[in-house]
Structure 1
Amino acid sequence: MAAVFAAGVGAGAINSVVGSGTLITFPVLLATGLSPVTATVSNALGLIPGSVSGAIGYRRELAGQRRRVLKLSVGALLGGLTGATLLLALPARAFETIVPVLVGLALVLVAFQPRLSSLVRRRRERTGSAARRDGGPLLFGGLTLASVYGGYFSAAQGIIYLSLMGMLLDESLQRLNAVKNVLSAVVNTVAALFFLFAADFDWTAVLLIAVGSGLGGYGGAKVGRRFSPLVLRVLVVTVGTVALVQLLLR
């Protein structure tokens, strides 16, 4: 119980700043003897408070992004529900081949985001086009697909969100991180509500992770908001690399 609670605290903190907290809680839940599907469902339920508290901790960075958040949340809701359905309908290993590819590509995009954003801005200047505040259909579609994965498993989901938004939105990494926390909260919540009626879960694990992630999410947001863009980007890439290695070795 102490290990599950501590994993919840760590996952909540990491999710609010970077993402990939599931890679802390999921192995711990498996070590307690839960099946992979039960562990995934219990983890999704338990991480809701962490996602919400992380979003609250980043509320200043959300200022002026209400319309954007509402639109992208629709895609997150649809994708999260689809992913949760697939978790119960597909074999447990169905996503294992594609997940490392997605995470690896997301890491490259995050690492080179300043350079890529500069190229995109110069192209807009040449063509005379303006950046769309909501990222357009490409961002909506990409985040919806990422949310399908998030509803299914969610490991490194936040990193995929950051990479997509970093490419298509002209915003600071901290403001994008704030949006990421809201979208993650939407996906976790809709998937968890689906699981409540359609899957088995362990209430003890859920409660321990919920309390831990709630504390960790808010604390992580308080610390993460003080990071410079470079430090935050390095942290994202570092944690994401660890996540990628763990996914490849599973």
Structure 2
Amino acid sequence: MVAGVFAGGINAAVGSGTLISFPVLLAVGLPPVVANVSNSLGLVPGSVAGAIGYRKELAGQRRRLWRLGFSSVLGGVTGALLLLVLPPEAFETIVPILIALAVVLVILQPWIARKLRARQGEAPRRDGPALLISAGLCGVYGGYFGASQGVLLVAIMGILMDENLQRVNAVKNVYVAVVNLVAGIVFIFVAEVAWIAVLALAVGAAIGGLIGAKIGRKLPPHVLRGAIVVVGVVAILQLLL
């Protein structure tokens, strides 16, 4: 449960809580696939709690959430199925590269956003096909493993959405909750689930999600961006080592 508190809190504030909870499940003796499946289900309440904590930042984004929700469902189901049919090596190689790219994008996001705004004029950017496709691909990754899914999402949405970082982070929490939930539903029917581990993670993650949202909402944009970058770098090192 303690791992769930930390994972849920980190997920709500910045993302990458899986890098805490997943190794703990492995340490207690769960096989990798069972640990991954149980982790996806167990962290859903944490993302839901994080979204509730960010409800003020979610105001006015209902239409966006419905559109991105469709992408998240498709991506999450696809990623869950890939986990069951592909060898682990297929994604192990590219995961650190994806996270490194996300870290770079998070750092460059303000500069890229300014360039896009200058090219398109001062009119707000719409949630076009690029956002939906990118979000769908993040959902595939999240359904398969999910470590640093939040970092990837914040990086992409921060560039493609005309919103401040806190509102982007709020959308991220909802999206991650949906991806983990739909992937978890697939896993319930076709894979082994360690329900005791799921319950312990769920209780801890729900508590951590509320705490993480409370902390994350108070962070200035540059501090939040720095925290995301630090978490992303730690994720890369952990996966490589």
TM-score by length of 2: 0.98
Amino acid of the structure 2 residue aligned with 1:143: A
Q: Decide which of 78, 98, 106 is 1:82's aligned counterpart.
A: 78
Q: Is residue 106–residue 160 contact of structure 1 (8 Å, CA) maintained in 2?
A: yes
1:229 is the counterpart of 2:221: yes
The alignment status of 1:24 with 2:25, answered yes or no, reads no
Alignment match of 2:48 (pick from 45, 52, 62):
52
- 1:132 counterpart (125, 130, 144): 125
How far apart are 1:105 and its partner, in Å? 0.5
1:133 positional shift = 3.0
Corresponding residue to 1:147 among 118, 139, 148: 139
Q: Are residues 1:182 and 2:174 paired?
A: yes
The one-letter code sitting in structure 2 at the alignment partner of 1:145 is: L
CA offsets, 1:199-250, max 9 Å, x none? Answer: 001111111100000100011101110111011001000111101111111x
Equivalent position SS for 1:94: helix
1:109, 1:221 → 2: CA distance? 23
Tell me the residue number matched to 1:63: 59
Question: Following the alignment from structure 1 to structure 2, what is the Cα–Cα distance between the partners of residues 203 and 69?
Answer: 30
2: CA distance between counterparts of 1:33 and 1:93? Answer: 21
Provide the residue aligned with 1:34 in structure 2: 30
Report the AA paired with residue 132 of structure 1.
Answer: R
> Which of these residues, 89, 106, 110, is aligned with residue 110 of structure 1?
106
Residue 131 of structure 1: how far off its partner (Å): 3.6
Instruction: Point out where structure 2 has 5 or more consecutive residues left out of the alignment.
Output: none
**CA RMSD of superposed structures (Å):** 1.0
Q: Separation in 1 of the partners of 2:55 and 2:188?
A: 28
* Whole-Å separation in 2 of the counterparts to 1:198 and 1:169: 36
Q: Deviations over 1:29-68 (max 9, x none)?
A: 1111111000000101100100110110000000011111
Is the 8 Å Cα contact of residues 68 and 133 (structure 1) preserved in structure 2? no
Cα drift, residue 115 of structure 1: 1.0
Deviations 1:76-125 (A, max 9, x none): 11000000011111112321111111110110000111111111111112
Identity of aligned residues (%): 60
1:183 and 1:157 mapped to 2: Cα distance?
Answer: 10
Query: 1:192 — aligned with what?
Result: 184
Query: Runs of at least 4 residues of structure 1 off by over 4 A?
Result: none
List gaps (5 residues or longer) in structure 1: none
Q: Which residue of 2 aligns with 1:163?
A: 155
Separation (CA, whole Å) in 1 of partners of 2:50 and 2:89: 30
TM-score, normalised via structure 1 length: 0.94
CA contact (8 A) 1:37 1:92 kept: no
Q: For residues 166-218 of structure 1, give each alpha carbon's deviation from its aligned partner in whole angstroms, at most 9, with x where no partner exists.
A: 11111100000000000001001101111111100111111110000010001
CA distance in 2, matches of 1:100, 1:141: 21
